[in-house]
């Protein structure tokens, strides 16, 4: 069982930045695929970004060039740096960890509004 604890959400104005963090409770963190989903009210959950154990990354088209996913294997933590935020980025952001099974964090709210 892997526990994931997210932090860093909040309220930000359009054009602003936030950095989300997700700490994992596993010593095997480095071999997990890590990533972020988000879910906006009334919408389906959307895959935002993924980072593989080797460091390769994938992004949703809607966030390419604005969001950056990274990982620190020494700290068992994955990050999502979000720049140039837009109102349509407003959602609950969920961290996940995937190896054989998939584990989820509790979610952190990101609200982009003036």
Give the distance from CA 106 to its chain's centroid: 12
- Note down pLDDT in tens along the chain; length 114 residues: 899 999 999 999 999 999 999 999 988 998 999 999 999 999 999 999 999 999 999 999 999 999 999 999 999 999 999 999 999 999 999 999 999 999 999 999 999 999
Give the C-alpha separation, 32 to 54, whole Å.
10
Measured CA distances, 45 to 16, 42, 51, 100 (Å):
23, 10, 18, 21
Residue 36 · residue 49 · CB < 8 Å: yes
């Amino acid at each position: 069982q892997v526990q994931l604890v997210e932090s860093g959400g909040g309220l930000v104005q359009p054009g602003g930045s936030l950095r989300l963090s997700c700490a994992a409770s596993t010593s095997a963190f480095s071999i997990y695929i890590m990533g972020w989903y988000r879910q906006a009210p009334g919408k389906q959950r959307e895959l935002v970004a993924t980072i593989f154990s080797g460091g390769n990354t994938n992004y949703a088209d809607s966030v390419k060039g604005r969001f950056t996913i990274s990982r620190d294997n020494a700290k068992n933590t994955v990050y999502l740096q979000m720049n140039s935020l837009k109102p349509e980025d407003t959602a609950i952001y969920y961290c996940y960890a995937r190896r054989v099974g998939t584990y989820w964090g509790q979610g952190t709210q990101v609200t982009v509004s003036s």
